[in-house]
Amino acid sequence: MADQTAVRAADAEHGLDVPARFARLDHNATALAVRLELCASARHRLDLQCYIFRDDDSGRLFAEAMVAAAKRGVRVRLLLDDLDASGRESVFGRMDAHPGFDVRLYNPLPWRGLLRPLSLLRDPGRINRRMHAKALIADDSLAVVGGRNVGDEYFAPEAELAFADIDVLIRGELARQVSESFDLHWHSPWAKPLTEVRGRRAPLEAARRARERLARPPRHEAPEQVLAKDAAAHELLGRLRAGAWPDLVGEGRLFADLPAKMELDTAQGEGYFDAALRALVGSAQREIMIMTPYLIPQEEGMAVLRALRARGLRIRILTNSLAATDVVAVHGGYRRYRRRLLELGVELYEFRPTGFWGRRLRRFIRGAHLRASLHAKTLIVDDHLVLIGSANLDPRSHGLNLELGVAIASVPLAREIRICFEDAILPVNAWRLGLEGGRVCWEGAGRRHEPGAGWGRRLLSRLLGYLPLEAHL
């Protein structure tokens, strides 16, 4: 087992002092191709940690790439949160059956199958705590960290709903620290081998259906075909194979919640949020830019923002509009803070569902009409610090879920991500919010209610906002 102190990375005195090379991954097809390349190039060990692993085209590509690595003699480990995996044990069982391929489920539900919903009633406090961290590590030397799970909405260029996200590719010592974090969770008592959770082999009919799903033809254009049309992405993959990419230099530090966060009565000490905010936000001198799909600052977060504004810092936040969000309940919680944020002087923007990333995703698909939703979880401090990870700015990430991210001191990387942010908040891509007569308004929308969202969605958001759900959002 990895030394717990080695992966904690939450001690403020260590600073951002681990040299590494970085590259941003913001185009969905490129992000998938890079991950598949890491699977193909791994020689000794391949680890994937994620919250969601869909049984769709992207999931099939991942499964095939990871099984192929296991057949080459690579030790492959897949660590999944059980909330999404429950009910699809036969699909993951086919991967787990290969020699050298191990699957573990994090915080598994006590009851399976038709009794699965009753698990929430039996032990809601424990079941509500989930492993939300995402990382892919190859040979302890290359790692991808960010907000993407495995599924068409994160990668496929023709998915009906496409998430706009940003990951970071890491080469060097920092990638080894991400690997140590994975080891800590893999060996924790919360991670159960799939064979132990299943308790028995899946019926033959279930196994047959799993084979059929894996063998079915893809519904979308293959990512490699999409990338073949993108000369820049093709060049980057060539450089990755040659060891010349990523090429942006800097220093970084891992921020990772410990498994102790899963214990209801055990305090893990300073976690991802507290450590990251203290190390980065506290050092800001001029400006903070935030991209988060779900924004519920709570009173603690409002106090931090108030203190930053008192220091004269400019704060700009991009989050999802009601029309773009995939979780209406979270928007209901966020809307209670909008006016207070604006009164505080925070510059608030809401992502349009057909804005910046929506057009980027459509550039190879003539006549496509995609709906994009912001999924990036990124914070930029001044012109040189970046935080990229799995955590949203909401109570669930702060108090319930296990999260992982990296803070990076790199002027060139911060410049690239800042450009993404500046493009994403242009009027054609996002609505800027303001106050008129004390009421929230959307500049350029020509009305005073949630633009782009129907009355039913607006009503549902308002009703959910009145319920006492904030601590669970």
Question: φ, ψ for residue 349 (rounded to 5)?
Answer: -125, 145
375: annotated active-site residue = yes
Encoded tokens for 178: 């991400």
Q: Which of 27, 261, 331, 375 is catalytic?
A: 375
449: annotated active-site residue = no
Q: Which of 134, 261, 331, 398 is catalytic?
A: 134
132: annotated active-site residue = yes
472: annotated active-site residue = no
Which run of H or of E encompasses 204? helix 204-215
| Of 309, 288, 305, 310, nearest in space to 384 by CA | 288
User: In 242-353, which ranges are continuous DSSP H helix?
Assistant: 272-280, 298-310, 328-334, 338-343
71: annotated active-site residue = no
**What is the spatial distance between Cα 236 and Cα 415, in angstroms, rounded to a whole number?**
19
The pairing of beta strand 191-193 with beta strand 101-106: antiparallel
DSSP string, 62-128: HHHHHHHHHHTT-EEEEEEEHHHHTT-HHHHHHHHTSTTEEEEEES--SS-GGGTTHHHHH-HHHHT
CB 279 within 8 Å of CB 389:
no
Q: Which of 382, 384, 423, 472 is catalytic?
A: 382
Q: What angle do CA 268, 270, 271 make, to 5 degrees?
A: 80
| Of 391, 312, 309, 374, nearest in space to 342 by CA | 309
CB 173 within 8 Å of CB 19:
yes
Encoded tokens for 267: 């305090």
Residue given tokens 């087992």 in the structure block? 1
Q: Which of 139, 167, 183, 257 is catalytic?
A: 139
Q: Which of 27, 185, 331, 377 is catalytic?
A: 377
| Of 172, 428, 145, 106, nearest in space to 276 by CA | 145
| Of 216, 171, 228, 227, nearest in space to 41 by CA | 171
| Of 286, 354, 317, nearest in space to 433 by CA | 317
192: annotated active-site residue = no
Q: Which of 132, 261, 331, 398 is catalytic?
A: 132
CB 62 within 8 Å of CB 150:
yes
Active-site residue list: 132, 134, 139, 375, 377, 382
